[in-house]
Chains A and B, each alone.
Chain A
Amino acid sequence: MTEPRFQAPPLPVNEPERLDALRSLNILDSPPEKEFDTLVQLAKTICDVPIALVSLIDQDRQWFKARCGIDATETERAISFCGHAILQKEIFEVQDARLDERFAENPLVTGAPFIQFYAGVPLVSEHGHCYGTLCIIDAKTRTLEESKRSQLIQLGDLAVHLMNTRRNQLVAEADAAMVDTLLEHMPNAVVACDANGKLNRFNRLARQWHGIDPLEVPPEEWAEHFDLYEPDESTLLPTEKIPLLRAFRGDAVDGSEIVIKPRNERPRHVQCHGRSTYAADGTHVGAVVVMQDFGALKEAVAQSARTSAHLKAIVDASTDTSIIATDKSGLITLFNTGASRLLGYSAEELIGIETPVCFHLASEIEARGEELSARAGRCIDGFDVFVFEALESSCESSNWTYVRKDGAHRQIHLSINALQDGRGEVTGYLAVAVDQTEQLAAQREARLQAERFAGAFDTAAIGMALVSLEGRWTAVNDSLCQMLGYCREELLATDFQTITHPEDLDSDLHLLDQLLAGEIRSYRLIKRYWHKDGSVIWAELSVALVRDEEGAPLHFVSQIRDVTTEKQANFALQASETRLRGLFQLSPIGIALNDAETGDFLDANQALLQQTGYDHSEFIRLSYWDVTPKEYEAKEQVALRELKTLGRYNLFEKEYYRKDGSRYPVRLQGMMIKGIDGRDVIWSLVEDISELQRVERMKADFVSTVSHELRTPLTSISGALQLLSHGIAGPVPDSMQEMLEIAAKNSQRLVLLVNDLLDIDKLAAGKMQLQLAGVDLCALLEETVQSMKAFALPMQVEIALGGDLEGQVYADRARLIQVLHNLLSNACKASPAGSLVELICERTADDAVIIEVIDRGRGIPAAFRPRIFQKFAQGDERDSRAYSGTGLGLAISQQLISHMGGVIGFESMEGHGSRFWIRLPNHSSGSARFRPNGPPRVLHVEDDADLGAVIRTQLRGIAEVEQALTLQQANYRLREKHFDLVLLDLKLPDGSGESLWEVFHQAQPDIPVVVLSGHEVPRALAGRVSAVITKNQEAGDQLTETVRRLIGGIGAAE
């Protein structure tokens, strides 16, 4: 096949640029456009041809932007006529293609549309690039007339213009779209209006902020419509202040603040920038305003302010850390509370006035300065010393000494930071100081302690050792070596396991394991070691574990104390305990242990259980009060009081309930001790005295029976003897008469004895009934003297009656006479022949009656005095033989007087005689024992008048104190009146207070006696008086306390 006879158009020289220019038109393959269609229509009509085209030459094709006369939209560039045309500067005209070499066999010529004529105007851009052509085609041969030719060229120019305009429009449209997108999505709100003031732009944020889409409203309604307010959030913005309006009117709006506050939304502060807009030719086309959310900005500013305030607060509140800021020169600009505390200066004293140099130790600054100067090779001193390194590395820490305002030194750790601004310029310094004085002191102390420990370790009196985790002794002190009998080297060569008694090893190792496991911090153990000599050493071992900083065990520290002796003592104690336990259990007397607080029984022995009928478990569930009948509560309270004050309670009798509800009499005695757990417990001895009482009763009955039974034969004997000696049974020879009289006298004595026995019996049994009444004193005493005359006569003793005999005494007449008989007969018997026995009666200030019987006999031996009122007491054997007495007289007398509410007492001086006295009340209402009214009375027997005055002062308000300087005075006072308490010194000018006590206690056993002495008080006496107080500085409180307690009941009565 032969090549068709035509030529493909060659490429222009600027083909690539031409193609770029063409493509930049963005026109290829675009839809038909009216302007271009009109253009080709015009060309076709003007030139009167069937076909007209706007053909654009693409890389490989010609594409028709507009066409008429053909249907094809493009053809190959190779067969195109236009491809040739674009190479021309002028119109390219082919009059008969069949004749042209380049086209003769072109398919467009040889085939449809059978081109014969072609004319194309190149479409050339302003830059000389040819896009294509405006061409006309005819299937007939033609020649283009000149007029049509120039018209075609003009149409070509128009086509180029159309293409350029089209291109420019496209660019403008793209720009506008971009600007729209930009405006729509920009982070500021944008509003704009056109030249008429009509709103034409309202971007997304603006819509969002205003809450509505823009509507066409006149400017004067904008504020209301768009919810615009003044920054105060409440005043509607005046129209003339609306930024867009201002901008529209030509104002430059720069940062004016308004508030957008749509209904039901929070107000938004916005900052507005606005300008009028002008077209390129300077015409006013509208205005635009850009709004920025000022609230967010404000919030950020506030946030920053808050952060700064927060930091300031932290600085101020740092009371333990000193924070000081300075400016670049060192002048203090900030001085916080911590700094004030540390340094003692106030912020006002320093800020803006001083540099930190003023509270640093000058010597330290100098030393540091020298050091730094040497390093830096220039002089560094003063404030620069602190900041030199901070400047180099921006932060520096070191230890310094601060000098407080008061001169005290504090060791501190100081960190200095250089403060820099945004550009890295140093603006000042921040010094943060932490006081470590205490910490350093503690470290020093710890070091010292370690040293001391080392010293103590070596010299400790108890054994000490460091023991490795395996048990090896790693350090031992002398005491331990000595205790265990090894020398140091021997001990260090062994381990503790080896010398531990096998029976104690397991428990020791177990504790060590617990220690290592951290379950316990230390332990203590009584264990046994083997002494080198093979003996057993009991030791108290205390072990602690030393750990390193990470907590890993390092070694044990052991303290080992030899407790062998204690242990032995303990064994002895245990043995003793066992023995005592045995005693407790086997004791025939009941023993109980009570809780002092609750009265609960804690323990009871077999004897007590037997008495009460309970078993042990039942009994220890009981309280003391469960076994005590109600009526004994008062007695119990007394015992409890004694327990509290004396730590023991004295014998008293009461009853206990048995389990079966019956009662039995017991005698109790006990003491209070501290139990192991610190509770007060009471040990009580509980003696079942029912048997004892039965025997007592039997004895009393026996005495009573025997005495009665004796009377019957006595009646006969004495009667018979009387009758005989009086010759009733016939005359009696003189030799027999004397014998008869002896028999008669002794039978009389027997009768008296029996009478006395019966009296004692009655008194003891409480069966003595007295007929107390006012008795005429004078008659009674005279009768007594009269009836005693016969008795006194044989002894050649005269009885003299004297004193104040007026009035009455309140007594049992017969029994008072009996007592006086007894006293008088004793006096007569003691008196030497020819002496006088006086019976004297007196009245006291209290209106009591004192009857005294005074003799001038031998006196009563001191040794006998304490026993004088006891039954069967007799001065000595001689007496009882020489004078017929029963030894019961004074015992009976004392009891009788006591029953009459009186007191009996005596004084006696050996070789000079005795004085017995009776004090009796003179009327029924009173009693000589208890004074009717007034404060309690205390007799203070003390020869030191000054001390007496002190005591009197101390007891003021508690009791009325009378002082007796001598025993004699004391006796006189005690005889005179009743005292509620006697304070007794033992050393007195005329004898010992002890003797006074003996007698006094005999006469008035109910009245408490307190020994107040500067000397050792005899144990026997101390145990029997109510209290003993030693004269010393502390005696005051103790005394008032004791007196208050002993006479408490009386004081309370007032």
Chain B
Amino acid sequence: MKPLKKVLHVEDDPSIRTIARLAIEVVGGLTLLSCEDGRSALVQVEEFSPDLILLDVMLPDMDGPAILKALQAQMDLAQTPVLFMTAKVHKTELNRFQALGAFGVIPKPFDPMTLAQTLREHHKRFHSGC
């Protein structure tokens, strides 16, 4: 299992993108590709080849689940865990996300000091087959 290095983050809110960049790059020391919508993410994802994909759920035009569906259609995600980042943490939603093929959920608001660590744990669990 290769360690977590590259994270693709799709988020429309620029402030949150900034916070996430600081949390992931500065605090976490990971490489981040931050996209403001699904379209640009789908264009860049294959070239960037992320180890983990973090999708905001509520997005204009194409929401998180839609992006996930498009990603699944476009490439092989067998080695890439997809996490949703959402303020909605209803059990039903979680089940729905899981059914869609998401591996986990990061609740909003997130703690920037621990976000990268959380991502690493998810990545590790994904690959250990838990």
Give the interface of A toward B (CB within 8 A).
708, 711-716, 718-720, 722-723, 726, 728-729, 751, 762, 767, 769, 771
What CA separation (Å) do A719 and B23 show in the bound complex?
8
| Stretch in B32-40, B64-72, B83-91 with 4+ CB within 8 Å of A | B83-91
Using known A-B contacts A712-B13, A728-B27, determine if residue A751 contacts B22 with beta carbons closer than 8 Å: no
What CA separation (Å) do A723 and B113 show in the bound complex?
7
B residues 15-52 touching A (CB-CB < 8 Å): 15-16, 18-20, 22-23, 26-27
**Among the listed A711, A723, A726, A767, which residue makes an inter-chain contact with B19, where contact means beta carbons less than 8 Å apart?**
A723
What CA separation (Å) do A771 and B88 show in the bound complex?
17
What CA separation (Å) do A620 and B89 show in the bound complex?
52
B111 within 8 Å of A (CB atoms): yes
A residues near B91, Cβ cutoff 8 Å: 769, 771
What CA separation (Å) do A726 and B91 show in the bound complex?
33
A719 touches B87 (CB 8 A): no
B110 within 8 Å of A (CB atoms): yes
Of A719, A720, A728, A771, most buried by chain B (CB within 10 Å of CB) is A719
**Among the listed A708, A720, A722, A726, which residue makes an inter-chain contact with B87, where contact means beta carbons less than 8 Å apart?**
A708
B residues near A718, Cβ cutoff 8 Å: 109
B108 within 8 Å of A (CB atoms): yes
Total cross-chain contacts (CB, 8 A): 64
Which applies to chain A's interface (DSSP): helix, strand, loop or mixed?
helix
B19 touches A751 (CB 8 A): no
B27 touches A723 (CB 8 A): yes
**Among the listed A719, A751, A769, which residue makes an inter-chain contact with B112, where contact means beta carbons less than 8 Å apart?**
A719
A residues near B90, Cβ cutoff 8 Å: 762, 767, 769
A-B contact pairs, 21 of them (CB 8 A): A708-B58, A711-B87, A711-B109, A712-B87, A715-B13, A715-B19, A715-B87, A715-B110, A716-B13, A716-B15, A716-B16, A719-B23, A719-B112, A720-B18, A723-B23, A723-B26, A726-B113, A728-B26, A762-B90, A769-B91, A769-B92
A residues near B108, Cβ cutoff 8 Å: 711-712, 715
B residues near A720, Cβ cutoff 8 Å: 15, 18-19, 112
A residues near B109, Cβ cutoff 8 Å: 711, 714-715, 718-719, 751
Of B20, B87, B91, B92, most buried by chain A (CB within 10 Å of CB) is B87
A residues near B112, Cβ cutoff 8 Å: 719-720, 722-723, 728
What CA separation (Å) do A714 and B16 show in the bound complex?
9
A residues near B19, Cβ cutoff 8 Å: 715-716, 719-720, 723
A residues near B110, Cβ cutoff 8 Å: 715, 719
B residues near A712, Cβ cutoff 8 Å: 13, 16, 87, 108
A residues near B58, Cβ cutoff 8 Å: 708
What CA separation (Å) do A719 and B18 show in the bound complex?
10
What CA separation (Å) do A771 and B113 show in the bound complex?
30
What CA separation (Å) do A771 and B90 show in the bound complex?
11
B113 touches A722 (CB 8 A): yes
Interface string of B95-130 (1 = CB under 8 A from A): 000000000000011111100000000000000000
A residues near B13, Cβ cutoff 8 Å: 712, 715-716
B residues near A769, Cβ cutoff 8 Å: 90-92
B residues near A767, Cβ cutoff 8 Å: 90
B residues near A716, Cβ cutoff 8 Å: 13, 15-16, 18-19
B residues near A714, Cβ cutoff 8 Å: 109
| Chain B nearest CB, measured from A761 CB (Å) | 12
B88 touches A708 (CB 8 A): yes
B residues near A762, Cβ cutoff 8 Å: 90
B residues near A726, Cβ cutoff 8 Å: 27, 113
| Chain B nearest CB, measured from A1007 CB (Å) | 30
B residues near A715, Cβ cutoff 8 Å: 13, 16, 19, 87, 108-110
What CA separation (Å) do A718 and B16 show in the bound complex?
10
The 10 closest A-B pairs by CB, nearest first: A715-B109, A719-B19, A716-B15, A711-B87, A719-B112, A715-B108, A723-B112, A722-B112, A723-B22, A714-B109
What CA separation (Å) do A961 and B110 show in the bound complex?
54
| Chain A nearest CB, measured from B106 CB (Å) | 11
What CA separation (Å) do A718 and B108 show in the bound complex?
11
What CA separation (Å) do A711 and B112 show in the bound complex?
15
B residues near A711, Cβ cutoff 8 Å: 87, 108-109
A716 closest partner in B (C-beta):
B15
What CA separation (Å) do A728 and B24 show in the bound complex?
11
Using known A-B contacts A715-B16, A728-B22, A728-B27, determine if residue A722 contacts B111 with beta carbons closer than 8 Å: yes
What CA separation (Å) do A711 and B87 show in the bound complex?
7
What CA separation (Å) do A977 and B18 show in the bound complex?
55
A725 closest partner in B (C-beta):
B113
Of A715, A720, A771, most buried by chain B (CB within 10 Å of CB) is A715
What CA separation (Å) do A957 and B20 show in the bound complex?
69
| Chain A nearest CB, measured from B12 CB (Å) | 9
**Among the listed B15, B22, B111, which residue makes an inter-chain contact with A729, where contact means beta carbons less than 8 Å apart?**
B22
